[in-house]
Amino acid sequence: MGTFHDLDRRGRRLAGRSPDPATLARLALGAMVLLAGVHKLLDPEAWAVYVVDWLAPWLVVSPVVFVLVNGVLEVGFGLALLADRYTAFASLVAAVSLTATVGYLLVVWVLSGRFGDVVARDVGLAGLAWAVVVEALRE
């Protein structure tokens, strides 16, 4: 019983010295968007696997080029979020993109059983992005 109380007390002290939760959310979203963009530029084929056969004909460019363009954009938006510049716009782009990705991957998951693990992760990331949008618009 004392151990839980001690842990709770230490956690509350640490939380009192920590950055604002909205700042932590913005930094986490910015880091995720930046790192995803960098990885897309370094290994676009790893991300192109998420473009399923029935979607590929709808793209104006090849899946790899599509991923590379997204990678460049994500690096810019990730840096903007980390620098706390254009936060409402950058987080809105991330939120809309992640929400669309969740919708797309849900369809793929239902139709083929693929990418269920990515859907589960991206639901949380979309929620994080929308939280950052709301906070940025409040300021």
The boundaries of the domain holding residue 127 are: 21-138
5 in a domain, yes or no? no
**The pLDDT value given to residue 22:** 96
Summarize pLDDT for 88-109 with one digit per residue, the tens: 999 999 999 999 999 999 999 9
**The pLDDT value given to residue 26:** 98
1 in a domain, yes or no? no
Summarize pLDDT for 54-81 with one digit per residue, the tens: 887 888 889 999 999 999 999 999 999 9
119 in a domain, yes or no? yes
Its pTM surpasses 0.75: yes
Counting other chains too, the contacts that 74-77 makes at CB distance below 8 Å and 24 or more residues apart are: 74/33, 74/34, 74/36, 74/37, 74/40, 75/34, 75/37, 75/38, 75/41, 76/37, 77/33, 77/37
102 in a domain, yes or no? yes
Summarize pLDDT for 4-60 with one digit per residue, the tens: 888 888 888 888 888 899 999 999 999 999 999 999 999 999 999 998 888 878 888
34 in a domain, yes or no? yes
**The pLDDT value given to residue 57:** 84
In the chain, the number of structural domains is 1
122 in a domain, yes or no? yes
